Structure 1
Amino acid sequence: MNRQKKTKFPGYDQLIQNPNGLTEIEIPKKIRIIDSGKLVNVNLEYMILDCDSEKRRGIRINNAVSGLGQISAKIYIYLILHALNGRRKVTTAIRWITEFALFIKTIKQFCPSPICTITLEMVNWYATLKNPSQQKLLRSQLIYWSDLDLPGISIDLITHLRNSRPPQPRSTAEIQATTAKERPFSINETRGILSKIEALLVQGVFNEQTYLLWRLIISEALRPSQLSLLQVGDVRIQQLGEGPTEVFLSIPYVKQEGTPGRKFMVEYLLSQSVGTALLRQLEVLRSLYQKELPSTLPLFSRHNSRGNLSVKENGIHIINQIAESRKKITADYEGLNDLDLFTRRFKHTKLTHLAMLGAPRSVLARAGFHTAANSLSRYVTLSEEAFSNYETLLENTYDEIFHAFKGDVLDRKNATNKDNPHLIGDVNMEGDVGSCSGIPCNVFAPVGCYTCPRFEAFTDGNHESVLIFLEARKSKATSMGLAPEVILRDEHLINSVKHVIDKIHAISIDKK
């Protein structure tokens, strides 16, 4: 749309009331926050609230209602406070406010009068300017709005929200294919980063706390929000006779809807190196605290103020610590300049390499701190290294897999599952090759699917693109002078795809 031709959205300046909706609302004076379980006084100008992702966050509810009519502003304030009152976490409310404020600011340029009603035209136009994540963020609060039967949303928008599907963000495979900084680190890169932080510890640039912080990020793939919630009481030490000491750490799951992170903890056995780093951190805290450490003391609480070391009762600011220390890791280290995504990449790295080792979905879910395996495909990446290691692990079983192929070849209309989540795209993401008759794992799809008994190959599927991809890989492996075993294993994969193509050809002849 040409921004110079300013036109208002029809009906925006008239308050729309649902026939059976609420007509009177009252702004609460106190709300109980999920994250802390505390009852807090409402202050629309500024409230400081405890939350999972960080110790405390400031929230300005009035910021989101500039440009709205008086009644509409009151409605939106009520909506946010209703969500905060034991229904949504603080970080969700903050994201809602930020996105809605941007939405109103963008729309307001076309509306000379205060906005009284959010219309379908507004939302559709705004969606053309924003990515799927922003669209879903606005959509989620508008759905919450409509579910409360509050005035201020047009009837056609309510109908649209209730009957349409949310926008689909780009898949992880697509993002990582176009954005190098989203891809997981290779094993060699990870080892290099570990060597760098160890060198920084030896040189005295990193102290025990910073070293432990990065070991938990690299080896355990903890989120900053998880790190900030860890306490001394979450550590359990077990001595196995005269054997080595085992260190266990209870880790909070911070992505459980409606549940504070510390209300859902799972104990993990740390590797010997990470466990040793954790024990050293506890020794430092004891020497600074000079008495028995409280179980509720944050694990990361060593504080340095102008050379004076002390224990900070409410812990350090984890995100700031990560931001400052990673500059030292990446100094003079080529290829690691994508600092904003640094910590998230380690989760991609951890789960991808576990998948390469053949870990089942339950193991991947536990390693990624998930209670379910639904979103694991976002963190497992198809990479050159993954292919190489996957094929190495399957070296002795390829013939067995090929001859014991239990998949099926059928027409698209006869698929067990015809919906998009079950469809398996080709390597170019321009078509599909089949569907999954079970629960899609999306690990090494679509190549790995050709050896999976749940794979239903479509007779009109784009199998040739997979064949071209594998043959190109084989040619590349040959030109690079890789081991004959690697080339041979690629050849078995090629034969598996050819097997499906030949079967489709035979079916087509029979139909004639």
Structure 2
Amino acid sequence: MTKSADQEHASPSSYLPAYVFEGPAQVAIRTRTNDQPRYVDTRLSVWTWYDGGLALRVDWASLDLTPELNEIAKGFMAYALEKYAPQTAFMFVRSLVYLSNTALARYFPWDYQDLIAELNGFKQVRQHLVGFRRFYRWAVDRGIKGFDSNIYLKIKDIKPEKVDPYARIFLSQSGLDLDEEIRLLKRIERELPAGLWKDIQSNLMLHLGFELGPRAIQLHSLDIADFELIKSADHENYYTLWLPMAKKVAQRRPERRPRKITTRLGEKISEHISVVQRRFGSNCKPLFVNFKGRRLSVSEIIVDLKQELREAGIDKPNQVTMLLRHHLGQGLADQGTPADMIAELLGHNSTVAARAYVTATPNIARIKEKALGKSPSYQRIMRSLLTGEIVQRRDTVPERSIRGVIDTQYIGDIGACALPVHTHCPYNPVYACYTCKKFHPFSDGRHEQVKDALQREAQRFIDMAEQAGDLIHNRPLAQHQTTILAVSATIERCRQHTEDAEDDAV
């Protein structure tokens, strides 16, 4: 770095004394349950806290940071433990571990050019970049020597690589097939001998997962006191479970929301509580426990549920509670449940994921297509919107082929345009083609690719409209939905055309 560049990025903070961590001896952390430690002892060389029954640690001696940087990192982690959820704080630990393996760990303050160069490595993993960015921002806000607000703005502009924020929710929802659901219900409803209380508990968690779709951490956090039985005047029993929310921002303790449950599930929980309190005493607080009467950890819950799913003939890698959540969300969407209600039932912070269920689930698309496909009115409309001729790619001159870009993705080989070769079409290629009479789709065209790209782009419109608070009157989204429907109809026509051609050949 040149001298002028050093001067450019210098700040009054560079003249401050070296930072020394002088935080509290014990930092209060956010806890989900009453039976886990609420404080982290900062006088130890290894800081330990717990979440989901699992120990989370940061070993300061193993980080291999310079002494001053180590002190700064301690101050940041003390702040993070008090402000953020335990798992979020541990994400920052992973970022510090990555930092300790870079050249930046060997010296401090950092050279500007070296810092920017090292950030290319942070970009490979989004959590590492987010953690380092938060660390740097914390230090800037406190005026710590070696951290500059101008450099922070440059760090803030750096984006992680190979990350699609929509990839995890849009068109990635997975659920159970009909035969899998039947097998799962048989597994849930089977009768078990009274002595096999551990198997009964696993069955109960499976039933609860199917009915309410809680995350594993929510099952872990459930207490016996969260179960409520109300007996009406006419001797009817009504059951409620106060489900702890897993991902609510800025809450010291998880909020609990009432969830009505079926009579059968309520009876099973009531019987289970009686057995647990007989075995481990009336002072036992957790709803789900191990053989020693201690609260089941998240990892133990996942192992039990994975075994239950396998026994039901459902073996999907890396999917346990999330599989049941997706199945519940997709089932609600298929029944026409509004996105805001799905978000509330699943405990989401926003309706983005819920709208992915509503707008992009394969089931709802198939239902719409089947229902509309049987409608004579719909068939007449689609015939008026689409060209009646399906053509072969080999019979089309290259100049008539249609190409375009959807969702930043180049797409070609979908069909041919009937306009004269040198005629300029006033409409946007690909987007407008599927509702244009001049469009001649290829029987083996890449129409599925077009549909996928349109659905991804539609999700972006949904997210932007949600931020603007205008999801009802959204013309671009409505136009995309019409086009997606037209593309679906074209796919069906091409499939039927191919089948008819094969029948004629026979």
TM-based fold match above 0.5? yes
- Residue of structure 1 aligned with 2:476, choices 448, 451, 456: 456
Q: Compute the displacement of 1:299 (Å).
A: 0.7
Deviates more, 1:243-252 or 1:224-233: 243-252
Q: Compute the displacement of 1:62 (Å).
A: 0.7
Q: Is 1:87 the counterpart of 2:83 in the alignment?
A: yes
In the alignment, what sits opposite 1:253?
A: 245
- Output aligned runs, 1:314-353, within 5 Å: 314-330=294-310, 333=313, 336-338=315-317, 340-353=318-331
Q: Compute the displacement of 1:440 (Å).
A: 3.9
Q: TM-score, normalised by structure 1?
A: 0.67
- Residue of structure 1 aligned with 2:60, choices 59, 62, 67: 62
Q: Is 1:468 the counterpart of 2:446 in the alignment?
A: no
In the alignment, what sits opposite 1:147?
A: 141
- Residue of structure 2 aligned with 1:365, choices 322, 343, 366: 343
- Contact 1:432–1:462 (CA under 8 A) maintained in structure 2: no
- Residue of structure 1 aligned with 2:219, choices 215, 227, 237: 227
Q: Secondary structure at the match of 1:354?
A: helix
| One-letter identity of the residue aligned with 1:87 | K
Q: Is 1:196 the counterpart of 2:187 in the alignment?
A: yes
Q: Compute the displacement of 1:223 (Å).
A: 1.0
- Residue of structure 2 aligned with 1:121, choices 104, 116, 123: 116
The structure-2 alpha-carbon separation of the partners of 1:299 and 1:154, relative to structure 1 and needing over 3 Å to count, comes to same
- Contact 1:237–1:248 (CA under 8 A) maintained in structure 2: yes
The structure-2 alpha-carbon separation of the partners of 1:440 and 1:214, relative to structure 1 and needing over 3 Å to count, comes to farther
- Contact 1:348–1:381 (CA under 8 A) maintained in structure 2: no
- Contact 2:215–2:322 (CA under 8 A) maintained in structure 1: yes
In the alignment, what sits opposite 2:42?
A: 42
| One-letter identity of the residue aligned with 1:316 | L
In the alignment, what sits opposite 1:213?
A: 205
- Contact 1:251–1:267 (CA under 8 A) maintained in structure 2: yes
The structure-2 alpha-carbon separation of the partners of 1:267 and 1:159, relative to structure 1 and needing over 3 Å to count, comes to same
Q: Compute the displacement of 1:456 (Å).
A: 2.5
Q: Compute the displacement of 1:392 (Å).
A: 6.8
- Contact 2:352–2:463 (CA under 8 A) maintained in structure 1: no
Q: TM-score, normalised by structure 2?
A: 0.67
- Contact 1:183–1:381 (CA under 8 A) maintained in structure 2: no
Q: Measure, in 1, the Cα distance between the counterparts of 2:181 and 2:229.
A: 27
In the alignment, what sits opposite 2:332?
A: 354
| One-letter identity of the residue aligned with 1:19 | P
In the alignment, what sits opposite 1:282?
A: 273
Q: Measure, in 1, the Cα distance between the counterparts of 2:357 and 2:129.
A: 22
In the alignment, what sits opposite 1:497?
A: none
Per-residue CA deviation, residues 310-340 of structure 1 (Å, 9 max, x unaligned), is 6x2x42224213214523531583x6241x2
In the alignment, what sits opposite 1:186?
A: 177
| One-letter identity of the residue aligned with 2:476 | E
Q: CA RMSD in A?
A: 4.7
Q: Compute the displacement of 1:267 (Å).
A: 0.7
The structure-2 alpha-carbon separation of the partners of 1:285 and 1:206, relative to structure 1 and needing over 3 Å to count, comes to closer
Q: Measure, in 1, the Cα distance between the counterparts of 2:338 and 2:375.
A: 17
- Residue of structure 1 aligned with 2:451, choices 427, 431, 440: 427
| One-letter identity of the residue aligned with 1:117 | W
Q: Compute the displacement of 1:64 (Å).
A: 6.7
Q: Measure, in 1, the Cα distance between the counterparts of 2:481 and 2:312.
A: 45
Q: Secondary structure at the match of 2:21?
A: coil
Per-residue CA deviation, residues 340-395 of structure 1 (Å, 9 max, x unaligned), is 23211222221122112111133112111135434434666734323233557889
Q: Measure, in 1, the Cα distance between the counterparts of 2:179 and 2:140.
A: 51
| One-letter identity of the residue aligned with 2:342 | L
- Residue of structure 2 aligned with 1:388, choices 352, 366, 387: 366
| One-letter identity of the residue aligned with 2:93 | I
Q: Measure, in 2, the Cα distance between the counterparts of 1:60 and 1:42.
A: 11
State the identity %.
Answer: 13
In the alignment, what sits opposite 2:21?
A: 26
| One-letter identity of the residue aligned with 1:258 | A
Q: Which has the larger radius of gyration?
A: 2
The structure-2 alpha-carbon separation of the partners of 1:283 and 1:384, relative to structure 1 and needing over 3 Å to count, comes to same
Q: Is 1:300 the counterpart of 2:288 in the alignment?
A: yes
Q: Secondary structure at the match of 1:316?
A: coil
Q: Measure, in 2, the Cα distance between the counterparts of 1:438 and 1:75.
A: 37
Q: Measure, in 2, the Cα distance between the counterparts of 1:464 and 1:171.
A: 24
- Residue of structure 2 aligned with 1:97, choices 72, 89, 93: 93
Q: Secondary structure at the match of 2:27?
A: strand
- Contact 2:226–2:241 (CA under 8 A) maintained in structure 1: yes
- Contact 2:204–2:269 (CA under 8 A) maintained in structure 1: yes
- Contact 2:228–2:240 (CA under 8 A) maintained in structure 1: yes
- Contact 1:348–1:380 (CA under 8 A) maintained in structure 2: no
| One-letter identity of the residue aligned with 2:182 | R
Q: Secondary structure at the match of 1:346?
A: helix
